[in-house]
Structure 1
Amino acid sequence: MSFAQPRHHACRISDEWMFRGMRTLIIENELLRVTVLLDRGSDIVEFRYKPLDLDFLHFGPHGLRNPAAETPSSFTDSPYLDVFNGGWNEILPNGGPPVVYKGASLGQHGEISLIPWRCAVLEDTPDRVSAKLWVRPLRTPFFLEKTLSMERGKAALFINERLTNEGGEPLSLMWGHHIAFGRPFLDEGAVIDMPARRFLVHEAMDGYEPRRFAPESEGVWPHVPATDGGEADASVIPSYGETQAQEMAYATDFEDGWYAVTNPVKQAGFGIRFDPAVFRYVWYWQQLGDVATGYPWWGRTHVAALEPWTSYPTTGLNDAVANGTALTLSPGEVVETSLCAVAFTGNQRVQGISAAGEIKRSAQSAFYP
């Protein structure tokens, strides 16, 4: 914990907050407020554009739960789903259902997404604030560090990350940023822009229907074969109540590393820049129109996620090793990368996002037929 400077304007930062027993970091300036649950995987549970009072992230109906304080009636190897509330989760080293890797049992989206992270405020000035967060998982010898920064006058969050294999043997991993968008941002629908070339649709899964996209099909983004035999436009997120569908797919072969989601009615959007040499895939996951029933959704979820990942598929680390997409680090090897997440206004399509968070716009409107 670091003592925050007593300031109520410009850039501000404090890790002295507590929410439902969880240490909480709040970073903000005059345009943007970001809330991070340090004791729950460094989840970003608020990414709010202040001028519109608009939080882009999905916020589940059961609210934010503290996994250390709420004991389930039976234990599971998928506690991630017990407390999933949307937001922005960082995941390492397993993406998907529980697996056993080299003798280590790794739960659903395990293992850093629910455990406490350490935090230290590095900068606290009116023009710039930053904090360093770091974590070592319980069952795998990785060390992940990240610095979150914000600058005056920019509706952007800057993230610099460093991942180290502290083990004495090569280790494979999946590393991802599970960014889930929801209502009210998605109420009127939205349009996705990203410079991917290939779009791979996941195979059929039990209980995962109806689907808009033909399972195991492939298209050139954003076009993809539809289940009705026609062609679907994957760049369109339908408005709430317009359709019911569940989707799982993967965008890849990026010309540049960014994506943007724009609601043309609200004239606002969220964009992120990432390194496509590290995060080579963007997972495309949707539960639209409260379609998903049973645990854990119970017919009350409207969510669309776009997730930069090193690897695929969503069936876990062992499958990523088998298909050759898992990232493997030698003993002592380090990977460094950076991301920039930005809120923006306007209803034009997006053509690019710079590392400084600058949006390049198209003359084309984001309104869709």
Structure 2
Amino acid sequence: MSYRRHRSARNWGCRLHEITWFGLRAIVLENELLRVTVLVDKGGDVAEFLYKRRDTDFVWLAPDGIRNPRDVAGGASDDVAAFLDHYEGGWQEVLPNGGEPSTHRGVALAQHGEVAGLPWDADIVADEPGEVAVRLTVRARRTPLYVAKTFRLTGGEPRLRIEEELTNESDVPLEVMWGHHIVFGAPFLRPGHRIDLPDEVAADPVVAEAGLTVVPERGAPSDIHYLTGFPDGDGWYEISDPETALGLRVSWDASVLPHLWVWRELGATREAPWWGRAYVVGLEPFAGHPTEGLAEAVRNGSAMPLEPRATRSLWLTANVIEGGATR
């Protein structure tokens, strides 16, 4: 890991720390209200999004916890295990394949492959009491893609901002699925939590038919749905507890990621990989659908085109809601 500027030793205001977690390099970004842990050695995953005032982590930590991809017994035996054997929950970058393993233009891509399993490089780009930021970069191995992603916290705000650039480093046009695999679970998620959506999206009949605005009781059937119709450039959703008025608002550039995958695994799967232990809801901004992988997204026209030597920019924010208002 390299650093472009000196890191101060500070335990107040905005600060950051380099740690090793289960053998993985990680960066912890903190301010007065949030602690966000990013696994640099594993996909740049957000493995912790803790709101300090309520001691509540919004993202799910799987029962087996953090797993170093290099330490999985037997290794990744197939293109599904390559992701699931070291899936800790949390929040992943998914590129260029979403969902099932897929082969496209001669490239075999694993489930949610390929950047989610790679180690990234990291540079500190801001380290002041009022703001901290770290920039992560990675080159894919099977496709000519380069990703730069900056995580940023500002003093006094329970908001994480992510700024990204995705570049096609080849002289041929590409097609990709690009998404953010954000999964909510304990200690935050409980039955009855509300999911609010823009009016244009909430009007989709699927939302009412599937009951997507209220988190079901444990044991309800597992399912996945794909929502679209977000205002151009202004995608958002809120997930909140109506009893405690605590929640999270996720916003993003819907001109880049026009879909929202709603994945619900509510404890009904009694066999692999969940064994009845997962009670989670994934609310995942995406370019491309369904979960059959990139080849299917290209066939149905939902994959994102990327012209030769072109760069696409993306922003996302995750803001804590408390007392019915975004803090």
Q: Would the TM-score normalized by the shorter structure come out above 0.5?
A: yes
Deviation at 1:73, TM superposition (A): 6.3
Query: In structure 2, what is the equivalent of residue 222 of structure 1?
Result: 207
Within 5 Å, give how 1:88-237 maps onto structure 2: 88-195=91-198, 197-198=200-201, 219-220=204-205, 222-224=207-209, 232-237=210-215
One-letter amino acid of the structure 2 residue matched with residue 292 of structure 1:
T
**Structure 1 pair 196–316 and aligned structure 2 pair: CA distance change class (3 A):** farther
Q: CA deviation at 1:75?
A: 1.4
Residues 253-273 of structure 1 deviation map (CA, whole Å, 9 limit, x = unaligned): 113311110012232101111
Aligned to 2:79: 77
Moved over 6 A (4+): none
Change (3 A) 1:24 1:278: same
One-letter code of the match for 1:249?
Answer: H
Classify the secondary structure of the residue corresponding to 2:83: helix
User: Per the alignment, do residues 126 and 247 of structure 1 end up closer, same or farther by CA in structure 2, a change over 3 Å counting?
Assistant: same
* Structure 1 counterpart of 2:24: 22
Q: Which AA in structure 2 matches 1:102? A: R
Residue equivalent to 2:278: 301
Structure 2: which amino acid aligns with 1:30? E
Number of aligned residue pairs: 321
Q: State the Cα distance separating 1:37 from its structure 2 match.
A: 0.5
Amino acid at match of 1:164: T
Q: Distance in 1 between matches of 2:23 and 2:15?
A: 22
Per-residue deviation, 1:167: 1.2
State yes or no: 1:57 paired with 2:59: yes
Q: Which amino acid aligns with 1:222?
A: V
Counterpart of 1:4 in structure 2 is: 7
Q: C-alpha displacement at 1:86, in angstroms?
A: 1.2
Q: Indicate the residue corresponding to 2:225 in structure 1.
A: 249
Q: Distance in 1 between matches of 2:270 and 2:130?
A: 47
SS in 1 for 2:32: coil
SS in structure 1 of the partner of residue 260 of structure 2: strand
Distance 1:27 1:313 in 2: 33
How far apart are residue 141 of structure 1 and its match? 0.3
Q: What is the CA-CA distance between 1:4 and the residue it aligns to?
A: 2.8
Alignment of 1:211-360 (within 5 A): 219-220=204-205, 222-224=207-209, 232-239=210-217, 241=218, 243-255=219-231, 256-288=234-266, 290-346=267-323, 348=324
CA shift, 1:188, in A, is 4.4
- Over 3 Å counting, the alpha-carbon distance change for 1:137 and 1:73 in structure 2 is closer
In the other structure, the counterpart of 1:38 is 40
- Counterpart of 1:367 in structure 2 is none
1:219 deviates by 3.9
Offset of residue 324 of structure 1: 0.5
The offset of 1:299, in angstroms, is 1.4
Tell me the CA shift for residue 304 of structure 1: 0.3
Could you say what secondary structure the match of 1:253 adopts?
coil
Mapped to 2, the partners of 1:196 and 1:307 lie a distance apart of: 18
Deviation at residue 221 of structure 1 after TM alignment: 6.1
SS for the counterpart of 1:13 is strand
Question: Which piece of structure 1 moves more, 44-53 or 77-86?
Answer: 77-86
Give the CA deviation at 1:233: 2.7
TM-score of the aligned structures, taking structure 2 as reference length: 0.94
Preserved contact between residue 102 and residue 110 of structure 2 (Cα < 8 Å):
yes
Shift of 1:72: 2.4
Aligned residue identity for 2:263: W
**Counterpart-to-counterpart distance in 1, 2:152 and 2:66:** 24
Paired amino acid for 1:260: E
Q: 1:196 to 1:100 in 2, by over 3 A?
A: farther
Which stretch shifts more, 185-194 or 25-34? 185-194
Q: Which runs of 5+ in 2 are unaligned?
A: none
Supply the AA of the counterpart residue of 1:43.
D
* Structure 1 residues without counterparts, runs of 5 or longer: 200-217, 225-231, 351-357, 360-369
The change in CA–CA distance for 1:269 and 1:74 in structure 2 (over 3 A counts) is closer
- 1:95 and 1:175 in contact (8 A); partners too: yes
Mapped partners of 2:222, 2:302: distance in 1: 24
* Identity across matched positions, percent: 40
Counterparts of 2:77 and 2:70 in 1: how far apart (Å)? 13
Report the Cα distance in structure 2 between the residues aligned to 1:96 and 1:305, rounded to whole angstroms: 13
Q: CA contact under 8 A between 1:275 and 1:337: conserved in structure 2?
A: yes
Secondary structure of 2:85's counterpart equals: helix
Q: What letter matches 1:20 in structure 2?
A: F
